[in-house]
Structures are given as C-alpha cells and as structure tokens.
Amino acid sequence: MVTGASRGIGAACSAALAGAGAQVIAVARTKSELQRLRDAHGDRIEIWPEDIHESPFRRRLEQLPRLDVLVNNAGTNTPQPFLEVEERVLDEMIALNVRAVFLTAQSAVRVMLRSGDGGSIINISSQMGHVGSPRRTAYCMTKHAIEGLTKAMGVELAPLGIRVNSVAPTFIETPMTVPMLEDEEFKEWVLERIPMGRVGRLEEVVAAVMFLASAEASLVTASSLKVDGGWTAW
C-alpha cells in the first residue's frame, strides 16, 4: 500500500513496486489522478480513492487479508514564518503529517499481525525531520514527530517481525517543490546547503524505499535513510 499515491514520490513508488511484481494498492483522494496511474501500469495497481484522515479508509484497510509493505507517504507543507503560521495551516499539517500517518500505520500493523508474516513500514519523512529551517517550523515539527514515531514503532514491533524505517529526502523535483524552486533566490539558498550541489530526483527516493521494502534490508529497523545530498551532515 502506498498513500499519497496520485503524484510525486507516491506515484513513483507505486510504479516501482508494481514493476517489481508487487500488487499495489494506491491511495489518494483524487480518483482521476489515480486512474492515470492504473492506466499506465495495469492490474498490478488497485486504486483506492480514499481520504486517509477518515475512519472508513482505516476500516477498509483493516479488512485486507494481508499487507506486506506500507509506504506511509501522504503529507503536506505550507511554508510560513513562525509568527504568521495560521491555526488552520498548523491543524492541517498535524492532521495529515502526524495523525493520519500514525493511524494508518496502526491499521496496517493489525493486518500484518493477523497474517503472521511480518512486514515493512516505510514512513516518508524529510531532512526537515533532522534539522531546522526558517519558514518551516510547523513542517519540521511534524517530520521530527515522524522520526520519533519511526524509532518507537521500530523498537516495539521488531520482536513481532515488523520493520519500521523512514526515508528522509532533501528537496526533490516533484509537483509540490516546482513552485518553490522556480524562485531563484530560494533555489540558490537550497543548493548552497546541499554539498552535492543539486536537488534530488524521484528515482533516488524510490531506490531507498525499494531497499527498505526488500529482504535485503532484513536487519534494518528504527532507522532513517537520508536521501539528502549531505544537507544534514553540516
């Protein structure tokens, strides 16, 4: 299962997992965008036009006969200076970036335990879960929460055969970041902080997800795989 699957990292992960032979459930609110994903990849992708904030989604998830991998990808960001962060924006980010991620993982674990074969949960975090940044206090707060959740889940669920990790990308070329990176001053600020001197590509994040989903990562849990070009090492 991949949440936030209609575009960007979620769509790319869905396509890669389907290409590797997985039966993928792609979840997002926009049915038309999910349908394009299914049209491109056929029966390997089942689409669920669902709002992951809501309990009907979680009830449907818990009815699955088995689930091996959850890519907990849905998230949002509205950059604002700390003193100008609106309550509405704060509530939206906490609701999607933290609450929905937590509850989706909770439902997924129930299915994994019922099947008895363990599983892998991959929370899509951010380099902002490891550092701070101006205009991103709320976002950093939510992603630090995801890093803490990943560690705690990883420790608690390890004896049950369920691995939990995060992938923490830097700025990646996605529909969400295009408007930001069109600002030349902002783009220069970003590139100055990435020792490798460039933003990331979708396939680089996908590669990290595929590794953590695979048996090759069988001893990796409660960890964060940073795909950040060195940003967080400063």
Catalytically active residues, by annotation: 139, 143
Distance from C-alpha of 33 to C-alpha of 30, rounded to nearest angstrom: 6
Q: Using alpha carbons, list the distances in angstroms from residue 98 to 93, 132, 196.
A: 7, 17, 30
* pLDDT for position 190: 96
Structure-derived torsion over alpha carbons of residues 201, 205, 208, 210, reported in degrees to the nearest 10: -100
The pLDDT of residue 69: 98
Query: How far, CA to CA in Å, does 215 sit from each of 60, 118, 224?
Result: 27, 12, 17
Nearest to 3 by CA among 91, 118, 105: 105
CA-angle at 77, arms to 2 and 58, nearest 5°:
35
Give the pLDDT band (50/70/90) at residue 179: confident
pLDDT of residue 178: 86
Please give the average per-residue pLDDT across 197-201, as a whole number: 96
The tens digit of pLDDT for each residue in 106-151 reads 999 999 999 999 999 999 999 999 999 999 999 999 999 999 999 9
Domain chopping of the chain, boundaries = 2-225
Assign domain 2-225 to its CATH architecture: 3-Layer(aba) Sandwich (3.40)
CB 114 within 8 A of CB 141: no
For the segment 66-78, what is each residue's pLDDT rounded down to a tens digit?
A: 999 999 999 999 9
Task: Please give the average per-residue pLDDT across 16-20, as a whole number.
Answer: 97
